[in-house]
């Protein structure tokens, strides 16, 4: 999804800032003081460095298959920028630590659907699994829905005027590898496995932005995406699967003669869509995006981002197509049973190609995301840690290898009082998926 880096032997200690949110009180009509729900706080606790031994370039998708903890990192498929990849693999363990400590040689390639030629219905471009939804109706735990990030170019998905799918190779923005490289368009899809992730069937596109919303030259100079939706995290609430994702498209039809960076900024970046769980086997066209009032925008329509997660212009916030615009991206969402709250981690881009050294945290204390604006009720992000001079991607919370975590079969989607903080740490020409801290919630 981004670029590849070599490894180094050591990483300097992090410089951190801790998010502490205090409790509030309100008065009832009888003038009695009552406590409002306690606001969560997160504390970073130093831990022995934990290095992941295989390729990671996305959120970590994972699930318990019976008593086996299984992870699905990596990338699969065609990519004209970086070359074809078969790095999407899975590894098992009796617990999270055992799975994360597997050597790269111990990872196994699943059977994946093949890429099809341009103009043919099927899988185009490269995919990264970012979230697993496990069907609770399957007692074996083997029925999985893999939510994937998908990247394409005009060469892998050329524009089809009959369907509106695909992209036109005109005024195309420059990519992450320099002037001769193209940038990608991201979208989000769903695959299904009925054997615990050993083989996968592509079910189709969850959400996407089409050609009219792409931000092209001369305005797109950030060396990231030409537009689209990507880097998802997904959680089930009630009868829906809620998708948290980065929005990189223009909130309307892009026209280089009438382009407005302030309009683009207000339409980006972390947004939410949802789909009925009953539609996961045939998802294309079924999802709805939040439009500012409700979930009524179409799967390929114009949505509205979570307003509290937009960095204000006064604080340096700007459009993702600008090399100086700041925005949050790469959400990772989990339900915390100790806090009784949703927790979101996100990275912060402060330069071209997602350059940024910090991780932020936000909370939503509405367990039911269905009612009213509950899904949008996220606290203003607070700095969790900063690592100056490094580029931080894909922060996530991972379960502990302890009696409670293993008994409750916790994953990155369901956590307790304490968790490990993992992230991809890029430094010079090196890259590690690493944990050096616990996060304790209070």
In the chain, the domains with their CATH numbers are: 57-435 (2.115.10)
Inter-residue contact 121 to 114 (CB < 8 Å): no
- Quote the pLDDT of residue 38: 83
Q: Which stretches of 67-177 are assigned E, i.e. beta strand? A: 68-71, 76-77, 85-86, 91-93, 126-134, 144-152, 174-175
**Closest to 289 measured CA to CA, from 362, 366, 206, 363:** 206
Inter-residue contact 81 to 177 (CB < 8 Å): yes
pLDDT digit string (tens) for 367-418? 999 999 999 999 999 999 999 999 999 999 999 999 999 999 999 999 999 9
SS3 content of the chain, % helix, strand, coil (to 5): 10, 45, 50
Which residue bears the tokens 């990231």?
Answer: 224
pLDDT reading at 15 higher than 50: no
pLDDT digit string (tens) for 169-190? 999 999 888 888 899 999 999 9
- Quote the pLDDT of residue 30: 37
- Quote the pLDDT of residue 179: 86
Q: How confident is the model at residue 264 (pLDDT cuts 50, 70, 90)?
A: very high
What percent of the chain lies above the pLDDT cut of 90?
89
pTM over 0.85: yes
**Closest to 106 measured CA to CA, from 49, 50, 146, 54:** 54
Which region, left, alpha or beta, applies to residue 196 given φ > 0 means left and ψ of -120 to 50 means alpha?
left
pLDDT digit string (tens) for 272-297? 999 999 999 999 999 999 999 999 99
pLDDT reading at 130 higher than 60: yes
Mean pLDDT of the chain: 92
Query: Token pair of 425, please?
Result: 């740490």
pLDDT digit string (tens) for 66-86? 999 999 999 999 999 999 999
Inter-residue contact 399 to 419 (CB < 8 Å): yes
Q: How confident is the model at residue 259 (pLDDT cuts 50, 70, 90)?
A: very high
pLDDT digit string (tens) for 305-318? 999 999 999 999 99
Q: How far apart are CA 309 and CA 305, in angstroms?
A: 8
**Closest to 78 measured CA to CA, from 120, 108, 106:** 120
Q: How confident is the model at residue 24 (pLDDT cuts 50, 70, 90)?
A: very low
pLDDT digit string (tens) for 217-253? 999 999 999 999 999 999 999 999 999 999 999 999 9
C-alpha torsion sign, points 252, 257, 262, 264 = positive
Query: What is the three-class DSSP state of 341?
Result: strand
Inter-residue contact 342 to 362 (CB < 8 Å): no
Query: What is the three-class DSSP state of 362?
Result: strand
């Amino acid at each position: 999804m981004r670029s590849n880096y070599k490894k180094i032997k050591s990483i300097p200690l992090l410089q951190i800032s801790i998010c502490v949110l205090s409790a509030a009180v309100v008065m009832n009509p009888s003038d009695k003081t009552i406590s409002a729900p306690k606001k969560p706080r997160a504390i970073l606790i130093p831990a022995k460095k934990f290095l992941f031994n295989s390729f990671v370039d996305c959120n970590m998708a994972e699930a318990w298959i019976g008593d086996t903890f299984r992870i699905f990192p990596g990338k699969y498929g065609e990519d004209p920028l970086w070359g074809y990849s078969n790095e999407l693999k899975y590894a098992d363990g009796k617990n999270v630590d055992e799975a994360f400590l597997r050597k790269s040689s111990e990872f196994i390639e699943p059977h994946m659907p093949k890429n099809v030629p341009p103009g043919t219905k099927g899988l185009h471009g490269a995919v990264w699994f970012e979230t697993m939804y496990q069907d609770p109706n399957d007692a074996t735990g083997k029925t999985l829905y893999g939510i994937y990030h998908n990247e394409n170019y005009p060469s892998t998905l050329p524009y089809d005027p009959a369907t509106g799918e695909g992209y036109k190779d005109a005024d195309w923005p420059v990519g992450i590898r320099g002037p001769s490289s193209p940038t990608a368009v991201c979208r989000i899809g769903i695959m299904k496995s009925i054997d615990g992730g050993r083989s996968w069937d592509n079910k189709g596109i969850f959400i996407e932005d089409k050609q009219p919303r792409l931000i092209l030259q001369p305005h797109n100079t950030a060396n990231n995406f030409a537009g689209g939706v990507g880097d998802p995290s997904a959680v089930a609430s009630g009868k829906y699967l809620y998708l948290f994702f980065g929005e990189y498209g223009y909130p309307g039809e892009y026209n280089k003669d009438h382009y407005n960076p302030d309009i683009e900024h207000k339409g980006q970046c972390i947004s939410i869509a949802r789909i009925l769980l009953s539609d996961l086997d045939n998802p294309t066209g079924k999802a709805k995006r939040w439009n500012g009032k409700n979930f009524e925008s179409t799967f390929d329509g114009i949505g509205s981002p979570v307003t509290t997660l937009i960095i204000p212009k006064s604080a340096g916030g700007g459009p993702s197509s600008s090399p100086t615009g700041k925005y949050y991206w790469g959400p990772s969402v989990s339900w915390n049973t100790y806090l009784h709250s949703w927790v979101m981690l996100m990275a912060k881009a402060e330069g071209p190609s997602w350059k940024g050294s910090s991780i932020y945290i936000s909370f939503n204390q509405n367990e039911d995301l269905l009612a009213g604006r509950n899904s949008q009720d996220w606290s203003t992000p607070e700095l969790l840690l900063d690592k100056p001079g490094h580029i931080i991607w894909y922060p996530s919370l991972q379960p502990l290898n302890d009696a409670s975590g293993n008994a409750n079969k916790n994953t990155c989607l369901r956590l307790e009082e304490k968790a490990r903080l993992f992230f991809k740490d890029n430094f010079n020409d090196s890259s590690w998926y690493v944990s050096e801290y616990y996060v304790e919630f209070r």
